[in-house]
Structures are given as structure tokens and as C-alpha cells.
Copies of this chain bind each other. A is one copy, B any other.
């Protein structure tokens, strides 16, 4: 096995590995162009003799499933493929039940693998299936969107949506391996790439001013697909891995990763998750702007900081204002209701991620809801 893996690594010298350090649940994220080609030997080395239930969606399946199964097959890994409809609507109970049932029908055992081939929806849903079937099977992720590579595939948050809100049912469950093939992103629609990029920028904004500066200079190369893209994915994964290793269950510091997300989720919910109007990363982009503007309102950072964020998000083509969302938005009171039902609420106080400048975000647990409502009222009118 060691020989085979050594070969894989010597043939692919440009692949980077980020280690997520969680004790005996630690795992590697392998990042680079054509990482997919090494999937078979890497998985066979990690889980000798295991079979795989590949969960993918119709869109990704058409593009990558046959090739991927060939790669697994060449390494002696038997697989079954379970395909779900593309889109957020698949993150629901019926689909969770169907997939659990199909994995069991394929006679998968506890040591076998649930393998997510797709974006965040496929990853979140598959992870909850992997966590739940036989109280925990092996789980491997092959994220095929930038968003999934830098966000959903790191940190073990899995789950489905409820009619009460997004991601309200799920598990903390760590994968055994994540393979981020950055060349797969070449076929990603520009809008989806941009949306994922919002999360990349977030890692700079929340804790790494140097990375944000680097992105200001190099974002075009990241979009074009050079080694800068690999670098951006690796630094993002490393940033998230560092936070998650410190705080796996989101008791404290991990909340920083929610920069832009409380506002962003409220906006997504307000448009009923209609992706024609708003996708997650766009909500995060607007949410990050709102978090910086709200922090400015509280005199926490200078206007120059807010301007730099806006300038960069506009450069890459991301929305920055609530009014960038097509169609009518609900009043501030409705957004506040959504925020109150958000899982980042603790006993009635609002928790927000605020910032003292680029790379200096912090968790503020006692934010006055009145201030937020007034701020949103004003932003909705502008």
C-alpha cells in the first residue's frame, strides 16, 4: 500500500495536503489539479477491501460519475451509485430516508464507505446518511464546487433542512478523507465559482489580513485556474481546519466562521432559498458587507476597512447590497424573526460576528436586537 501511495504522490508532485487535526478522527484534505485520478489508490490504501456507495446529483453525475467509477474500479473498489436531483430541495427528510434505505439495500457494512461526489447539498446530505446508517459508516468527500471544497467539506457539519430553517437537523460527523480536485472547477458556472469565492474571501476577512491582501492581488489567477487556485483552496481549508481543530462542536471560536452568515442565512430564507434570486455564497457576500457596515456603525472599524471589502467583492462580481437581490424583500421584522430562529441564538440574546478591521473578526454574544432591526430597516430602504 505504501508503495502505491508513494507512487501516487511522486506522480502528482503538485498535490497539497491539509491535515485536519481532531485526535483519532483526524483526516487529510488532498488538494490539486487531477487529484481525482488518484482517488482509487488513495481510498484503497485508506480502507482496504471496503465498498463504496457513491452519492451524487444528476448534474455532477452526468459530468463525472462514469469516469469516477472507472477510477475506483481500476483500484479494485466496488461501488454503487445513488443519484439525487440537483439543488437545495434534496436536503430534506424524504431524501435522507431514501438514501439510508438504499445504502442498507446495497448491504453496506459499517466499514464500507459513503462517498459524496458533488457540491454542498450532496456533501451535507451524504454526511448525515454516513453518520446515521449503522450509527456511522466511513465517509469520504469529493467536493465538486469551490464552495464545497473550501467550506462544506471541512469541519464535519452535516445535515438537512427543516421547514423551520436551513441545516436544523443533522450531525457533527468527520470524513475519513477529502479529495479536492481543483481542475473539476474548470467546468463550474461562473456564478457558482464566484459564490464559492465569497467563502474564500471570508477566511481572509475573519482572521488573516495577509491572505485578504493576497486575494486582492491574485483573484484573477484564482478564477483562471492556475496554481493560485490550489493555493487559495489550501489556505482556506487550512484556515477552517485550524478553527475546527480548536473548537469542533462550535462552542466558541468556531462561530467566527459564521462571519456574514447570520445576515446571509436570513436573506436566503427571505427569498425562500430560490437560487435564481440568491445562492448561499451571494448571501454570505452581502452578509459580510452588512457585518462590516454594522461594525462600522458601532465604531468598531474605520470606513476604509468597509470600503476595501466592498471594492474587492465588486471586483470579483459578487453582490454587496440587499438591493442587489432581484425582487421584493420582506420587512426588517421578518428578517429579525428568521434571525431569532437561527441556531446561533443563545437564550434570546443575539450572537453576531463583528469585526475590528480586515482579518480581525470576533464573536459578540450580546448584540441588542433593536440596533440590528434599525440597521436592517435602513439597509432595506437604500
- Interchain CB contact (< 8 A) of A162 among B49, B101, B169: B101
Bound-state CA distance A346–B110 (Å) is: 8
Q: CB of A132 within 8 A of chain B?
A: yes
In the complex, the answer to whether B162 meets A135 with C-beta atoms within 8 Å is no
Q: How far is the CB of A90 from chain B (nearest CB, A)?
A: 16
B97 touches A93 (CB 8 A): yes
Are B49 and A347 in contact, CB atoms less than 8 angstroms apart? yes
Question: In angstroms, how far is the closest chain B Cβ from the Cβ of A248?
Answer: 11
Interface residues of A in 97-129 (CB under 8 A from B): 97, 100-101, 104-105, 107, 109-111
B-chain residues with CB within 8 Å of residue A345 when the two chains form the complex? 109
On chain B, the residues within 8 Å of A133 by CB distance are 168-169
Given contacts A111-B346, A343-B110, contact A135 B170 (CB under 8 A): yes
A109 to B, closest residue via Cβ: B345
CB distance from A257 to the nearest CB of B (A): 14
Asked if A275 lies at the interface with its beta carbon under 8 angstroms from chain B, I say no
**B131–A171 touching, CB < 8 Å:** yes
How far apart are A92's CB and chain B's nearest CB, in angstroms? 9
- In the complex formed, the residue of B with least CB distance to A110 is B343
A134 within 8 Å of B (CB atoms): yes
Q: How far is the CA of A162 from the CA of B100 in the complex (A)?
A: 9
A171 in contact with B93 given A107-B341, A111-B347, A346-B111 (CB within 8 Å): no
With beta carbons under 8 angstroms apart, the residue of B110, B135, B167, B347 that contacts A171 is B135
Contact A104 B172 (CB under 8 A): no
Q: Which residues of B are found within 8 Å of A171, using beta-carbon distances?
A: 131-132, 135-136, 171
**How many copies of this chain are found per oligomer?**
2
A interface, size bucket? 35 or more
Q: How far is the CB of A366 from the nearest CB of chain B, in Å?
A: 15
Q: Which residues of B contact A343 (CB under 8 A)?
A: 109-110, 134
A157 at the B interface (CB under 8 A): yes
Given contacts A171-B171, A341-B107, contact A249 B136 (CB under 8 A): yes
Nearest Cβ in chain B — how far from A151, in angstroms? 16
A62 interface hit (Cβ, 8 Å): no
Contact bitstring A249-269, B, C-beta under 8 A = 1, else 0: 100000000000000000000
* Interface: A283 (CB within 8 A): no
Chain A positions near chain B (C-beta within 8 angstroms): 49, 93, 97, 100-101, 104-105, 107, 109-111, 131-136, 157-159, 162-165, 167-172, 249, 341, 343, 345-347
Q: What are 14 A-B interface contacts by the 8 Å CB criterion?
A: A93-B93, A93-B97, A100-B168, A101-B163, A101-B164, A104-B165, A109-B343, A110-B343, A111-B347, A131-B171, A132-B159, A135-B157, A135-B167, A136-B172
